[in-house]
Amino acid sequence: MERDLADAGWRGGPPAPPPPGWQRFTLVHGGEDAPRHDALRARPPQGCVVDESEGCFTLRCERPGGRLLDAVAATCAEIRDEYGLLMSGLGADGPGDRGALNVGRLLLMAADRGPHVGYSVDDLARFLRTAGGADEAGA
């Protein structure tokens, strides 16, 4: 447990849990310093703070969402729409739901890397629907 806390960047123990209906997470942009970081540094999304102590552009966020992926998706969409930047990594600020965290990491990685090898967002969504056995309505 102590290692999880240290890995999450907590000094002096974990903060109080977020309020019900809120999620705490860290978004990472793995690319080199980009001019788009400047605008995001100056005006991060509400509930997020910039942290570059680990040598990469990171946002530590506490945002509304019933589930982790809901909060992450909404925050990533806001950053993409407003700053033109696709966040490519996800971490947690604590020992929360590791399953959701791992799924989120893989999905962000796919969204970031897929276009570099010729897959669109629609291709990736179709892959998930087909491989997961969902019908065309997304059930």
Supply the pLDDT for residue 139. Answer: 52
Model's pTM, two decimal places? 0.75
Query: Which residues, given as ranges, of the chain have pLDDT below 50?
Result: 1-7, 138
Supply the pLDDT for residue 59. Answer: 94
Lookup: tokens for 38: 């400047």
**Residues near 117 by beta carbon (within 8 Å), at least 6 away in sequence:** none
pLDDT, tens only, 83-108? 988 888 887 655 556 778 888 889 99
Supply the pLDDT for residue 45. Answer: 96
Supply the pLDDT for residue 103. Answer: 87
d(CA 1, CA 37) in angstroms, rounded, equals 33
Q: Which residue has the tokens 């290692």?
A: 3
Strand locations in the chain (E)? 22-29, 48-51, 57-64, 89-92
Lookup: tokens for 15: 């903060």
